A and B are shown apart, each in its own frame.
Chain A
Amino acid sequence: MVSESIPRVGAQDRPIASPGPVAQAWKRLVANRLAMGSAIILAVLTAVAILGNTSSAVQRHDPTAQSYTDASGADNTDRSPNRDYWLGTDGLGRDMWARMLQATLFSLRIGIGAEAVVVVIGISLGLAAGLGGERTDRIIVWITDLAYAFPDILMILLIRQVLFGREWPVLGTGSPQIPGLPSALLVTIIAISIVAWVTICRLVRGQILSLREQEYVLAARAAGASPWRVVRVHMLPNTLSTVIVAITFGIPRNIFAEAAIAFIGLGVPPPFASLGSLMSDGRAHLQTNSLLVLWPTITVAMLMLCFTFLGDGLRDALDPRSAHQRR
């Protein structure tokens, strides 16, 4: 079998000429205007969100401060956008701009934080399934099948309810009184990542299973490389592009999941704002002040759209063959 495959080597491999594959992928990504535009929008949104939660010059108002009347004594609730309140105020006279900044940063932290946990769990279990022998593989595949059979947001909901409102060793109680809500953030991240690791695990497992049969892996093994070295140097880097693309699609999915449970009313406890809880609050006042629901909705949509475009661009850039097949 091996001798038969030798003449075909090279025909299937990508050319290893200069510039290197990373530089080529980068060039393709930069040339993709939609992906680059999305990356810039995401960068700006992130920067504004971070600045808006650290510098009072950008934040302008306290996101939880309620002021029913302004300086001149006029009604300050449900105001339309003006020079002082850029996005208007809500029914309690809170500044929507400040609340949106808080919510956007929270969503980004959820999306990226959960994805970080997902990557660690997904890659480890994917590697274990792909390399650990048939029994380990079967157990892990069975667990992923199980996770697919369970409606994911319902599962996130259940785990969130289990973790919230109870004293946990590291997490604390998720009390709304703690500024910045580290425990609410952690609880949500854990609930989402327990459900979301499955996708990356499956991808990595599939990738490892096919890489294991490649000639160069065989060659490395024959040359006496230790199993760990084979994995680290020859297999992991080749799963990288799949994982990077999966991350860019995973982040918006996590943001969506958090917004969904918050929309139902099971998100962060008030007065803290997340994009989902703002949408849920705004929905109740849809008839009187439809701007309240419009801001968070547009932001969630924009985040999801930009991450998707960026993911599409990355996939085309990292795997040009798939791009050719698609077109």
Chain B
Amino acid sequence: MISYIFRRVLLMAPLLLAIVTITFLLMHTIQGGPFDSDKPLPPATRQRLEERYGLDKPLPEQYVNYLFRLVQLDLGISLANDRPVRELIGEHIVPTVQLGLTSFVFALAFGIALGTVSGLNQNGMWDYVGAFVSTLGATMPSFILAPLLVIVFVLRLHWFDVLGWEFMNHRKMVLPILATGMYPMAFLTRITRAALLDVLHQDYVRTARAKGLSEFRVVVRHMAKNAMIPVLTVSGLLLAHLITGSFIVEQAFAIPGTGREFINSVLVRDYGVMMGLIVTYTLIYAMMTLVVDVMYAVVDPRIRY
């Protein structure tokens, strides 16, 4: 197990290298540089700035320099704010992770609950409720839902605030969480339902019933445990996507997270922040896939690494 994890961590290196390389190339192909603005800088100032940030060197040299600094966990300096990128990301990732985690908990709780009642009442009323909600959630993700939520709950009912993010302040949290969490919630509902239906007619469930176990015990001990495996597989990746993909909701609700920071960095060609965020996102994604694979072995004793 330990050696498996070790091997997987080592395998992250080529993935990260490839993504850093692709981003580096794309980033420098974007028209314009970080010091281009409507009012052109005097050539001398510009030259001094480029020297200071090492942008006057040829691209291959900049690339190698970046890699060297990356190995030492140094993400460089933001060209727009003149602050270390690591500090900047550390600051902006807080609301992003808070939003991602809370939406994930929301999606997990409601998705599994709805999926379970749908699966246990196959073709019953709850099944149709579940199908309705999950179809709606799957087709109306994030920014499509956001304006509708705002029109109903902010402009008509005045229940919540339109903009901003504040942890543990329901007026600022509920709508972003709903907008972010609806899609994964819908997805988890479908997965849970399908997984439950899969185990519903397994022999061991019949055996458990024949032993005279209570229905609750059958569902929780025998069905839920096995139905959890597919749910687990997708939930790790969902969490990764929630954290790395929340920038549309961040934009819609003006949440100062990393997604907004990334879009800004693309617009002003802030190379350091762009790269730093891509590296962070890739690491989050890779870690999540690793966690899922390890959890697999924990839940399903048949899997050995």
In this assembly, does A208 line the interface, its C-beta being within 8 Å of a C-beta of chain B?
no
The answer to whether B144 touches A158, judged by C-beta atoms less than 8 angstroms apart, is no
Q: State A314–B19 Cα separation when bound (angstroms).
A: 36
The reply to whether B155 and A290 contact each other, CB–CB distance below 8 Å, is yes
Nearest Cβ in chain A — how far from B184, in angstroms?
15
Q: How many whole Å from A231's CB to the nearest CB in chain B?
A: 30
A219 interface residue (CB < 8 Å to B) = no
Residues A260 and B248 in contact, CB atoms below 8 Å apart: yes
With A264-B248, A264-B251, A294-B151 as contacts: A157 and B266 at CB distance below 8 Å: yes
CB distance from B161 to the nearest CB of A (A): 13
Closest to A252 in B: B139
Distance in angstroms between the alpha carbons of A125 and B201 in the assembled complex: 39
Interface members, chain B 2-44 (any A CB < 8 Å): 15, 18-19, 22-23, 26-27, 29-32
B interface, by DSSP: helix, strand, loop or mixed? helix
The answer to whether A308 and B139 have CB atoms under 8 Å apart is yes
What's the minimum C-beta distance from B198 to chain A, rounded to whole angstroms?
9
B248 adjacent to A151 (CB under 8 Å): no
B286 within 8 A of A: yes
* Interface assignment of B185: CB less than 8 Å from any CB of chain A: no
Interface residue from B30, B197, B241 paired with A161 (Cβ < 8 Å): B30
Max chain B C-beta neighbours (<10 A), residue from A154, A252, A294: A154
A159 adjacent to chain B (CB < 8 Å): yes
Interface bits A293-327 vs B (CB < 8 Å: 1, else 0): 11001001100110011000000000000000011
Asked if residues A297 and B27 are in contact (CB atoms below 8 Å), the reply is no
Q: Smallest CB–CB gap between B17 and chain A, Å?
A: 11
Residues in A with CB closer than 8 Å to B32 are 165
Interface string of A153-184 (1 = CB under 8 A from B): 11001110110111000000000000000000
| A 213-242 contacts with B by CB, 8 A | none
Flag whether B174 is at the interface (Cβ < 8 A). Answer: no
Cβ distance A242 to chain B, nearest Cβ, rounded Å = 18
Would A260 and B143 count as touching, CB distance under 8 A?
yes
Check if B165 is an interface residue, CB within 8 A of chain A.
no
Most chain-A CB neighbours within 10 Å: which of B19, B31, B144, B151? B144
B277 to A: closest C-beta gap in Å:
8
Q: How many residues of B contact A (CB 8 A)?
A: 46
Contacting B155 at CB < 8 Å: which of A159, A286, A309? A286
**Cβ A294 vs Cβ B143 within 8 A:** no
Chain B neighbourhood of A153, CB < 8 A: 245, 247-248
Q: Is the CB of B30 within 8 A of A154?
A: no
* Interface status of A146 (Cβ within 8 A of chain B): yes
B123-140 CB contact bits vs A (8 Å, 1 = yes)?
100000000000110111
Among A183-225, those with CB < 8 Å from B are none
A326 touches B194 (CB 8 A): yes
Contact A154 B281 (CB under 8 A): yes
Chain A residues closer than 8 Å to B22, beta-carbon distance:
146, 150
A146–B15 CB distance below 8 A = yes
Also in contact, A279 and B147, with CB within 8 A (given A164-B31, A264-B248, A326-B194): yes
Answer yes or no: A3 CB below 8 A from chain B CBs. Answer: no
Which residue of A161, A165, A166, A300 contacts B144 across the interface (Cβ within 8 Å)? A300
Bound: A326/B247 CA distance, A:
34
- CB of B263 closer than 8 Å to a CB of A: yes
Say yes or no: is A106 at the interface (Cβ < 8 Å to chain B).
no
Contact of A290 among B151, B245, B278, B282 (CB under 8 A): B151
A290 to B147, CA, bound (A): 9
Q: How far is the CB of A198 from chain B (nearest CB, A)?
A: 14
Shortest Cβ distance from A146 into B: residue: B18
CB-based contact A154/B262 at 8 Å: yes
Q: What 4 pairs across the A-B complex have the smallest Cβ distances?
A: A304-B139, A151-B244, A293-B147, A165-B31
Which residues of B line the A interface, CB within 8 A? Answer: 15, 18-19, 22-23, 26-27, 29-32, 122-123, 135-136, 138-144, 147-148, 150-151, 155, 162, 194, 197, 241, 244-245, 247-248, 251-252, 262-263, 266-267, 278, 281-282, 285-286
In the assembled complex, 17 residue pairs joining A and B whose CB atoms fall closer than 8 Å, in A order, are: A145-B15, A149-B286, A150-B278, A151-B241, A157-B266, A161-B266, A162-B29, A165-B31, A165-B32, A259-B143, A263-B252, A264-B251, A279-B143, A294-B151, A300-B144, A326-B197, A327-B123
Q: Known contacts A151-B245, A326-B194; can you find 4 more A-B pairs with CB under 8 A?
A: A150-B19, A158-B30, A161-B31, A308-B135
